[in-house]
Amino acid sequence: MSKPLAPDRVLTALEHQPLPITPDGAGWSLTPAEAERLAQISEVRPGFCELGAHHVKLAQYCGVVGLGDRVLEVLPKVDDAATSAEDCRGVLLRLLSRTERFAHFRHQATGQHLRRMPLLEVFIAAFFDSVASLARGGLLRQYQEQDDVLQVVRGRIDLSRQFGTHANRPDRLTCHFDELTADNVWNRTLKKAIRCTRAWIRRADLHRRWVELMGLLDEVDDTRLAGAELERLQFNRQAERYRTAVDWARWILALLAPSLRAGGHQAPGLLFDMNKLFESAVASEARQQLRGIPGLSVNSQDTSRFLGTLVSGERVEPAFQLRPDLVFRHNDVVIAIADTKWKRVDADKRGHLMPSGADLYQMHAYASAFACHELQLIYPWHAALSRAQPSEIRLPDVQGRAPVLRVNCIDVYDDEMKLNIGRWPRTASCI
Protein backbone atom coordinates (compact mmCIF):
# COMPACT_ATOMS: atom_id res chain seq x y z
CA MET A 1 0.00 0.00 0.00
CA SER A 2 1.34 3.42 -0.88
CA LYS A 3 2.07 5.79 1.98
CA PRO A 4 -0.58 8.45 2.48
CA LEU A 5 0.03 12.13 1.93
CA ALA A 6 -0.39 12.69 5.66
CA PRO A 7 1.86 14.79 7.88
CA ASP A 8 4.41 13.04 10.12
CA ARG A 9 2.03 13.38 13.07
CA VAL A 10 -0.46 11.03 11.43
CA LEU A 11 0.37 7.33 11.49
CA THR A 12 -1.64 5.23 9.03
CA ALA A 13 -2.26 1.50 9.40
CA LEU A 14 -4.65 -1.16 8.15
CA GLU A 15 -7.02 -3.26 10.24
CA HIS A 16 -5.40 -6.46 11.51
CA GLN A 17 -1.95 -4.99 10.81
CA PRO A 18 0.82 -5.43 13.41
CA LEU A 19 2.59 -2.19 14.34
CA PRO A 20 6.15 -2.50 15.69
CA ILE A 21 7.15 -0.88 18.98
CA THR A 22 10.48 0.95 19.03
CA PRO A 23 12.07 3.13 21.73
CA ASP A 24 11.72 6.35 19.68
CA GLY A 25 8.68 5.47 17.52
CA ALA A 26 10.66 6.24 14.37
CA GLY A 27 9.03 5.89 10.97
CA TRP A 28 5.80 3.91 11.11
CA SER A 29 6.35 2.37 14.54
CA LEU A 30 4.91 3.13 17.99
CA THR A 31 6.65 4.31 21.11
CA PRO A 32 6.09 2.24 24.28
CA ALA A 33 3.87 5.05 25.64
CA GLU A 34 1.75 5.04 22.46
CA ALA A 35 1.44 1.25 22.59
CA GLU A 36 0.29 1.46 26.18
CA ARG A 37 -2.30 4.07 25.20
CA LEU A 38 -3.68 1.71 22.54
CA ALA A 39 -3.81 -1.09 25.11
CA GLN A 40 -5.87 1.15 27.41
CA ILE A 41 -8.26 1.91 24.56
CA SER A 42 -8.66 -1.82 23.99
CA GLU A 43 -9.93 -2.14 27.56
CA VAL A 44 -12.77 0.22 26.64
CA ARG A 45 -13.24 -1.22 23.14
CA PRO A 46 -12.56 -4.97 23.45
CA GLY A 47 -11.23 -6.29 20.17
CA PHE A 48 -9.49 -3.08 19.14
CA CYS A 49 -5.96 -4.44 19.45
CA GLU A 50 -3.65 -6.93 21.15
CA LEU A 51 -0.45 -5.81 22.88
CA GLY A 52 2.58 -8.01 22.29
CA ALA A 53 6.17 -7.77 23.50
CA HIS A 54 7.40 -5.94 20.41
CA HIS A 55 4.27 -5.01 18.48
CA VAL A 56 0.61 -4.06 18.67
CA LYS A 57 -1.75 -6.13 16.51
CA LEU A 58 -4.79 -4.18 15.34
CA ALA A 59 -8.14 -5.93 14.93
CA GLN A 60 -11.64 -5.13 13.73
CA TYR A 61 -11.91 -1.37 14.47
CA CYS A 62 -11.18 1.41 11.99
CA GLY A 63 -11.11 5.17 12.46
CA VAL A 64 -8.89 7.60 14.38
CA VAL A 65 -7.40 7.46 17.88
CA GLY A 66 -5.18 9.94 19.68
CA LEU A 67 -1.65 8.92 20.63
CA GLY A 68 -0.66 12.19 22.30
CA ASP A 69 1.58 14.09 19.91
CA ARG A 70 0.39 11.91 17.01
CA VAL A 71 -2.84 10.30 15.87
CA LEU A 72 -3.33 6.84 14.43
CA GLU A 73 -5.76 6.30 11.58
CA VAL A 74 -6.78 2.71 10.97
CA LEU A 75 -8.21 1.95 7.54
CA PRO A 76 -10.24 -1.04 6.34
CA LYS A 77 -8.81 -3.52 3.85
CA VAL A 78 -10.52 -6.46 2.18
CA ASP A 79 -8.58 -6.68 -1.06
CA ASP A 80 -5.11 -8.24 -0.89
CA ALA A 81 -4.18 -6.45 -4.11
CA ALA A 82 -2.05 -3.30 -3.87
CA THR A 83 -4.73 -0.92 -2.61
CA SER A 84 -3.95 2.74 -1.96
CA ALA A 85 -4.71 4.60 1.23
CA GLU A 86 -7.19 6.66 -0.78
CA ASP A 87 -9.13 3.52 -1.74
CA CYS A 88 -9.17 2.28 1.85
CA ARG A 89 -10.39 5.62 3.16
CA GLY A 90 -13.02 5.58 0.45
CA VAL A 91 -14.35 2.25 1.74
CA LEU A 92 -14.73 3.59 5.28
CA LEU A 93 -16.32 6.86 4.17
CA ARG A 94 -18.65 4.99 1.82
CA LEU A 95 -19.87 2.68 4.58
CA LEU A 96 -20.27 5.61 6.99
CA SER A 97 -22.32 7.52 4.42
CA ARG A 98 -24.83 4.67 4.28
CA THR A 99 -24.96 3.52 7.86
CA GLU A 100 -28.02 4.15 10.00
CA ARG A 101 -25.97 3.49 13.12
CA PHE A 102 -24.12 6.84 13.09
CA ALA A 103 -26.47 9.62 12.00
CA HIS A 104 -23.65 12.19 11.96
CA PHE A 105 -22.11 10.49 8.94
CA ARG A 106 -25.31 9.89 7.00
CA HIS A 107 -24.81 11.13 3.44
CA GLN A 108 -21.14 11.90 4.16
CA ALA A 109 -19.38 12.91 0.96
CA THR A 110 -16.91 10.35 -0.41
CA GLY A 111 -15.25 12.38 -3.17
CA GLN A 112 -11.69 11.82 -4.29
CA HIS A 113 -10.53 15.03 -2.60
CA LEU A 114 -11.67 13.66 0.76
CA ARG A 115 -10.00 10.31 0.22
CA ARG A 116 -6.66 12.06 -0.18
CA MET A 117 -7.04 13.71 3.23
CA PRO A 118 -6.16 11.98 6.51
CA LEU A 119 -9.32 10.83 8.26
CA LEU A 120 -8.76 13.38 11.01
CA GLU A 121 -9.03 16.23 8.50
CA VAL A 122 -12.12 14.64 6.94
CA PHE A 123 -13.76 14.59 10.36
CA ILE A 124 -12.60 18.15 11.11
CA ALA A 125 -14.22 19.27 7.85
CA ALA A 126 -17.49 17.60 8.87
CA PHE A 127 -17.29 19.32 12.27
CA PHE A 128 -16.71 22.69 10.60
CA ASP A 129 -19.75 22.04 8.38
CA SER A 130 -21.95 21.47 11.42
CA VAL A 131 -20.72 24.68 13.13
CA ALA A 132 -21.16 26.73 9.95
CA SER A 133 -24.72 25.43 9.64
CA LEU A 134 -25.43 26.57 13.21
CA ALA A 135 -23.94 29.99 12.57
CA ARG A 136 -26.19 30.52 9.56
CA GLY A 137 -29.18 30.04 11.85
CA GLY A 138 -27.71 32.36 14.48
CA LEU A 139 -25.59 31.47 17.49
CA LEU A 140 -27.39 30.64 20.70
CA ARG A 141 -27.43 33.63 23.02
CA GLN A 142 -28.35 33.52 26.70
CA TYR A 143 -28.74 36.11 29.44
CA GLN A 144 -25.89 36.11 31.94
CA GLU A 145 -25.52 38.09 35.13
CA GLN A 146 -22.81 40.75 34.91
CA ASP A 147 -21.18 43.08 37.42
CA ASP A 148 -19.38 46.14 36.11
CA VAL A 149 -18.43 49.71 36.99
CA LEU A 150 -20.16 52.07 34.55
CA GLN A 151 -20.69 55.78 34.07
CA VAL A 152 -24.47 55.40 33.65
CA VAL A 153 -26.92 53.15 35.44
CA ARG A 154 -27.60 49.80 33.81
CA GLY A 155 -29.80 47.26 35.55
CA ARG A 156 -29.57 48.00 39.27
CA ILE A 157 -26.91 49.57 41.44
CA ASP A 158 -25.06 47.31 43.87
CA LEU A 159 -25.52 49.55 46.89
CA SER A 160 -23.15 47.71 49.23
CA ARG A 161 -20.24 48.07 46.79
CA GLN A 162 -21.27 51.58 45.68
CA PHE A 163 -21.27 52.97 49.23
CA GLY A 164 -18.15 51.01 50.10
CA THR A 165 -15.48 50.80 47.43
CA HIS A 166 -16.80 53.70 45.32
CA ALA A 167 -18.28 55.89 48.04
CA ASN A 168 -16.17 58.87 47.00
CA ARG A 169 -16.65 58.38 43.25
CA PRO A 170 -20.15 59.53 42.22
CA ASP A 171 -19.03 59.27 38.59
CA ARG A 172 -18.45 55.51 38.97
CA LEU A 173 -21.57 53.35 39.35
CA THR A 174 -21.33 49.70 40.39
CA CYS A 175 -24.11 48.02 38.41
CA HIS A 176 -25.56 44.52 38.38
CA PHE A 177 -27.35 43.62 35.11
CA ASP A 178 -28.25 40.82 32.71
CA GLU A 179 -26.56 40.74 29.30
CA LEU A 180 -27.61 38.71 26.26
CA THR A 181 -24.40 37.09 25.06
CA ALA A 182 -23.08 34.27 22.89
CA ASP A 183 -20.44 33.58 25.53
CA ASN A 184 -22.10 30.46 26.96
CA VAL A 185 -21.06 26.85 27.50
CA TRP A 186 -22.45 25.68 24.15
CA ASN A 187 -20.40 28.10 22.10
CA ARG A 188 -17.37 27.71 24.36
CA THR A 189 -17.45 23.98 23.64
CA LEU A 190 -17.51 24.59 19.90
CA LYS A 191 -14.75 27.22 20.00
CA LYS A 192 -12.49 25.09 22.19
CA ALA A 193 -12.82 22.17 19.78
CA ILE A 194 -12.20 24.44 16.78
CA ARG A 195 -9.10 25.86 18.48
CA CYS A 196 -7.76 22.34 19.15
CA THR A 197 -7.87 21.44 15.47
CA ARG A 198 -5.51 24.21 14.37
CA ALA A 199 -2.28 22.25 14.77
CA TRP A 200 -3.67 19.32 12.78
CA ILE A 201 -4.92 21.21 9.71
CA ARG A 202 -2.76 21.00 6.61
CA ARG A 203 -5.13 22.02 3.81
CA ALA A 204 -5.39 25.72 2.93
CA ASP A 205 -9.19 25.60 2.55
CA LEU A 206 -9.62 24.12 6.03
CA HIS A 207 -7.28 26.73 7.48
CA ARG A 208 -9.37 29.48 5.86
CA ARG A 209 -12.54 28.00 7.34
CA TRP A 210 -10.83 27.77 10.75
CA VAL A 211 -10.10 31.51 10.65
CA GLU A 212 -13.68 32.29 9.61
CA LEU A 213 -15.23 30.20 12.38
CA MET A 214 -12.93 31.62 15.05
CA GLY A 215 -14.00 35.08 13.87
CA LEU A 216 -17.68 34.16 14.17
CA LEU A 217 -17.04 33.09 17.77
CA ASP A 218 -14.83 36.05 18.61
CA GLU A 219 -16.92 37.17 21.62
CA VAL A 220 -16.80 33.66 23.12
CA ASP A 221 -14.17 33.04 25.80
CA ASP A 222 -13.31 29.34 25.49
CA THR A 223 -10.54 29.60 28.13
CA ARG A 224 -13.32 29.41 30.71
CA LEU A 225 -14.43 25.94 29.56
CA ALA A 226 -13.85 23.12 32.04
CA GLY A 227 -14.26 19.39 31.61
CA ALA A 228 -16.94 19.35 34.28
CA GLU A 229 -19.09 21.65 32.14
CA LEU A 230 -18.95 19.15 29.26
CA GLU A 231 -20.00 16.45 31.68
CA ARG A 232 -23.08 18.41 32.79
CA LEU A 233 -24.31 19.51 29.36
CA GLN A 234 -28.04 18.86 28.97
CA PHE A 235 -29.80 19.63 25.72
CA ASN A 236 -32.91 21.74 26.23
CA ARG A 237 -35.33 23.01 23.61
CA GLN A 238 -33.12 25.98 22.73
CA ALA A 239 -29.91 23.96 22.49
CA GLU A 240 -31.28 20.91 20.66
CA ARG A 241 -30.11 22.24 17.30
CA TYR A 242 -26.55 22.19 18.72
CA ARG A 243 -26.59 18.41 19.27
CA THR A 244 -24.73 17.36 16.12
CA ALA A 245 -22.08 20.08 16.41
CA VAL A 246 -21.56 19.42 20.12
CA ASP A 247 -21.24 15.68 19.51
CA TRP A 248 -18.54 16.45 16.97
CA ALA A 249 -16.88 18.85 19.42
CA ARG A 250 -16.85 16.21 22.15
CA TRP A 251 -15.24 13.70 19.82
CA ILE A 252 -12.64 16.24 18.71
CA LEU A 253 -11.82 17.24 22.29
CA ALA A 254 -11.56 13.62 23.41
CA LEU A 255 -9.17 12.99 20.54
CA LEU A 256 -7.02 16.13 20.72
CA ALA A 257 -7.57 17.49 24.26
CA PRO A 258 -7.98 14.49 26.61
CA SER A 259 -7.85 16.73 29.69
CA LEU A 260 -11.28 18.04 28.67
CA ARG A 261 -12.78 14.61 28.01
CA ALA A 262 -16.36 14.58 29.24
CA GLY A 263 -16.34 11.38 31.25
CA GLY A 264 -18.56 8.56 30.07
CA HIS A 265 -19.89 10.63 27.18
CA GLN A 266 -16.55 10.32 25.41
CA ALA A 267 -15.19 7.51 23.32
CA PRO A 268 -11.37 7.21 23.24
CA GLY A 269 -11.46 8.15 19.59
CA LEU A 270 -13.58 8.01 16.48
CA LEU A 271 -13.55 4.23 16.12
CA PHE A 272 -15.99 2.01 14.25
CA ASP A 273 -16.49 -1.73 14.62
CA MET A 274 -16.25 -2.85 10.99
CA ASN A 275 -18.56 -5.83 11.53
CA LYS A 276 -21.35 -3.59 12.80
CA LEU A 277 -20.62 -0.83 10.31
CA PHE A 278 -20.76 -3.24 7.37
CA GLU A 279 -23.99 -4.79 8.64
CA SER A 280 -25.62 -1.37 9.05
CA ALA A 281 -24.51 -0.15 5.61
CA VAL A 282 -25.73 -3.33 3.90
CA ALA A 283 -29.07 -3.11 5.71
CA SER A 284 -29.48 0.47 4.50
CA GLU A 285 -28.58 -0.52 0.96
CA ALA A 286 -31.03 -3.43 1.04
CA ARG A 287 -33.85 -1.14 2.15
CA GLN A 288 -32.96 1.28 -0.62
CA GLN A 289 -32.87 -1.43 -3.30
CA LEU A 290 -36.14 -3.04 -2.18
CA ARG A 291 -37.99 0.19 -1.51
CA GLY A 292 -41.35 0.32 -3.23
CA ILE A 293 -42.12 -3.42 -3.13
CA PRO A 294 -45.53 -3.58 -1.37
CA GLY A 295 -45.49 -5.37 1.98
CA LEU A 296 -41.73 -6.00 1.99
CA SER A 297 -39.67 -4.90 5.02
CA VAL A 298 -36.08 -5.37 6.14
CA ASN A 299 -35.41 -5.64 9.89
CA SER A 300 -31.96 -5.48 11.48
CA GLN A 301 -30.74 -7.50 14.45
CA ASP A 302 -33.99 -9.42 14.94
CA THR A 303 -34.12 -11.04 18.39
CA SER A 304 -37.58 -12.60 18.20
CA ARG A 305 -36.47 -16.24 18.01
CA PHE A 306 -34.49 -18.69 20.13
CA LEU A 307 -32.58 -21.75 19.04
CA GLY A 308 -33.72 -23.99 21.87
CA THR A 309 -35.71 -24.43 25.05
CA LEU A 310 -34.23 -24.87 28.51
CA VAL A 311 -36.08 -27.43 30.64
CA SER A 312 -35.40 -27.49 34.38
CA GLY A 313 -37.90 -29.57 36.34
CA GLU A 314 -41.29 -28.06 35.65
CA ARG A 315 -39.73 -24.84 34.38
CA VAL A 316 -39.52 -24.39 30.61
CA GLU A 317 -38.04 -21.25 29.07
CA PRO A 318 -36.50 -20.19 25.74
CA ALA A 319 -32.71 -20.30 25.50
CA PHE A 320 -29.94 -19.28 23.08
CA GLN A 321 -31.44 -16.16 21.57
CA LEU A 322 -30.63 -15.68 17.89
CA ARG A 323 -29.78 -12.35 16.27
CA PRO A 324 -29.60 -12.50 12.46
CA ASP A 325 -28.35 -9.31 10.85
CA LEU A 326 -31.19 -8.97 8.33
CA VAL A 327 -34.67 -10.48 8.27
CA PHE A 328 -36.78 -9.91 5.16
CA ARG A 329 -40.54 -10.06 5.71
CA HIS A 330 -43.49 -9.87 3.34
CA ASN A 331 -46.70 -8.95 5.12
CA ASP A 332 -45.06 -10.01 8.42
CA VAL A 333 -44.09 -13.44 7.06
CA VAL A 334 -40.35 -14.21 7.10
CA ILE A 335 -39.23 -14.88 3.54
CA ALA A 336 -35.45 -14.59 3.80
CA ILE A 337 -32.66 -14.20 6.33
CA ALA A 338 -29.22 -12.73 5.67
CA ASP A 339 -26.06 -12.33 7.69
CA THR A 340 -23.26 -9.94 6.79
CA LYS A 341 -19.62 -10.93 7.27
CA TRP A 342 -16.86 -8.34 7.23
CA LYS A 343 -14.16 -10.75 6.07
CA ARG A 344 -12.79 -12.22 2.89
CA VAL A 345 -14.59 -15.08 1.22
CA ASP A 346 -12.67 -17.03 -1.41
CA ALA A 347 -13.69 -19.13 -4.38
CA ASP A 348 -12.75 -22.74 -5.12
CA LYS A 349 -11.13 -23.89 -8.36
CA ARG A 350 -14.48 -23.88 -10.14
CA GLY A 351 -15.25 -20.32 -9.05
CA HIS A 352 -17.82 -21.17 -6.37
CA LEU A 353 -17.76 -19.02 -3.24
CA MET A 354 -16.92 -21.11 -0.19
CA PRO A 355 -18.03 -19.75 3.21
CA SER A 356 -16.66 -21.25 6.40
CA GLY A 357 -18.33 -24.17 8.11
CA ALA A 358 -19.16 -21.98 11.12
CA ASP A 359 -21.07 -19.58 8.84
CA LEU A 360 -23.05 -22.49 7.36
CA TYR A 361 -23.94 -23.87 10.81
CA GLN A 362 -25.13 -20.42 11.88
CA MET A 363 -27.37 -20.02 8.83
CA HIS A 364 -28.90 -23.46 9.30
CA ALA A 365 -29.75 -22.51 12.89
CA TYR A 366 -31.55 -19.42 11.57
CA ALA A 367 -33.45 -21.50 9.01
CA SER A 368 -34.60 -23.89 11.73
CA ALA A 369 -35.65 -21.24 14.26
CA PHE A 370 -37.38 -18.95 11.73
CA ALA A 371 -38.76 -21.78 9.53
CA CYS A 372 -37.20 -19.95 6.58
CA HIS A 373 -35.86 -21.55 3.40
CA GLU A 374 -34.21 -18.53 1.71
CA LEU A 375 -30.83 -17.69 3.26
CA GLN A 376 -28.04 -15.32 2.28
CA LEU A 377 -24.48 -14.66 3.39
CA ILE A 378 -23.18 -11.25 2.29
CA TYR A 379 -19.43 -10.57 2.11
CA PRO A 380 -17.41 -7.64 0.78
CA TRP A 381 -16.30 -8.18 -2.80
CA HIS A 382 -12.60 -8.12 -3.73
CA ALA A 383 -10.64 -8.32 -6.96
CA ALA A 384 -9.76 -12.01 -6.57
CA LEU A 385 -13.45 -12.79 -7.09
CA SER A 386 -13.59 -11.21 -10.55
CA ARG A 387 -14.26 -14.62 -12.13
CA ALA A 388 -16.34 -16.09 -9.32
CA GLN A 389 -19.93 -17.11 -9.95
CA PRO A 390 -23.06 -17.09 -7.78
CA SER A 391 -23.13 -19.99 -5.33
CA GLU A 392 -26.16 -21.82 -3.97
CA ILE A 393 -25.77 -24.34 -1.17
CA ARG A 394 -28.62 -26.63 -0.14
CA LEU A 395 -28.74 -27.32 3.58
CA PRO A 396 -30.45 -30.20 5.46
CA ASP A 397 -34.24 -30.15 5.43
CA VAL A 398 -36.22 -27.84 7.69
CA GLN A 399 -39.89 -28.83 7.98
CA GLY A 400 -39.56 -31.13 4.98
CA ARG A 401 -37.88 -28.57 2.70
CA ALA A 402 -34.19 -27.92 2.06
CA PRO A 403 -33.16 -24.30 2.74
CA VAL A 404 -31.12 -22.67 -0.03
CA LEU A 405 -28.14 -20.56 1.01
CA ARG A 406 -26.95 -17.98 -1.52
CA VAL A 407 -23.51 -16.41 -1.13
CA ASN A 408 -23.51 -12.74 -2.19
CA CYS A 409 -20.75 -10.16 -2.48
CA ILE A 410 -21.25 -6.39 -2.35
CA ASP A 411 -18.72 -3.99 -3.87
CA VAL A 412 -17.56 -1.66 -1.08
CA TYR A 413 -15.02 -0.04 -3.44
CA ASP A 414 -17.77 1.38 -5.66
CA ASP A 415 -19.96 4.36 -4.73
CA GLU A 416 -23.10 2.51 -5.84
CA MET A 417 -22.28 -0.50 -3.61
CA LYS A 418 -23.87 -2.98 -5.99
CA LEU A 419 -24.08 -6.71 -5.46
CA ASN A 420 -21.36 -7.92 -7.81
CA ILE A 421 -22.30 -11.51 -7.05
CA GLY A 422 -25.81 -12.66 -6.12
CA ARG A 423 -29.11 -10.82 -5.79
CA TRP A 424 -31.46 -9.43 -3.16
CA PRO A 425 -34.49 -11.59 -2.22
CA ARG A 426 -37.03 -9.71 -4.27
CA THR A 427 -38.46 -12.15 -6.83
CA ALA A 428 -41.88 -13.74 -6.58
CA SER A 429 -40.29 -17.12 -5.91
CA CYS A 430 -39.11 -15.84 -2.52
CA ILE A 431 -42.58 -14.72 -1.44
Q: What SS3 state is found at 283?
A: helix
CA 235 to chain centre: 21
Q: What tens digit of pLDDT does each residue of 150-199 get?
A: 767 776 777 767 676 666 777 777 887 677 788 888 899 999 999 999 99
Count of alpha carbons within 13 angstroms of residue 159, beta-carbon side = 0
pLDDT at 390: 86
For the residues 226-251, what does the mean pLDDT come to?
84
- Would you list the DSSP string of 345-372? -EE-TTSBEE--HHHHHHHHHHHHHHT-
Which pLDDT does position 101 carry in this prediction? Answer: 77
Q: What is the predicted pLDDT for the residue at 7?
A: 45
**Under DSSP, is residue 321 helix (H, G, I), strand (E, B) or coil?**
strand
d(CA 281, CA 232): 33
CA gyration radius for the chain? 28
DSSP, collapsed to helix, strand or coil, labels residue 179 as strand
Give the model's pLDDT for residue 264.
44
Mean pLDDT of the chain: 85
How far, in Å, are 148, 158, 179, 180, 183 from residue 153 at the CA level? 10, 10, 14, 17, 23
Domain boundaries, given as residue ranges, for the chain: 10-16+60-135+189-273, 142-181, 292-430
pLDDT in tens, 369-403: 999 999 999 999 998 898 898 889 999 998 889 99
Kindly give the residue spans of alpha helices, DSSP state H, lying in 163-322. 185-197, 204-216, 227-232, 243-256, 274-290
What percentage of the chain carries pLDDT values higher than 70?
A: 89
Dist. CA 400–CA 343, nearest whole Å: 33
Q: How far is CA 92 from CA 31, 179, 353, 415, in A?
A: 27, 46, 24, 11
Residue pLDDT, tens place only, 303-337: 899 998 899 888 889 889 999 999 999 998 999 99
pLDDT value, residue 64:
94
Alpha-carbon dihedral of residues 214, 122, 103, 71, nearest 10 degrees?
-90
**For residue 429, is pLDDT > 50?**
no
Residue-wise pLDDT tens digits, 301-311: 998 999 988 99
Q: Judge whether residue 263 has pLDDT over 60.
A: no
- Indicate the Cα dihedral angle 133, 137, 138, 144, nearest 10°: -100
186-220 as b/e: b if 16+ CB within 10 A? bbbbbbbbbbbbeebbeeeebeebbeebeebbeeb
**Beta-carbon contacts of residue 83 (< 8 Å; ≥ 6 apart):** 1, 77
pTM recorded for the entire structure: 0.83
Burial class (CB in 10 A: 0-12, 13-18, 19+), 70: middle
Q: pLDDT by residue (tens digit) across 22-48? A: 998 888 899 999 999 899 888 888 889
3-state secondary structure of 226: coil
Predicted confidence (pLDDT) at residue 289 exceeds the cutoff of 70: yes
Q: How large is the average pLDDT for residues 234-241? A: 85
Q: Read off the pLDDT of each residue in 52-74 and give the average, rounded to a whole number.
A: 92
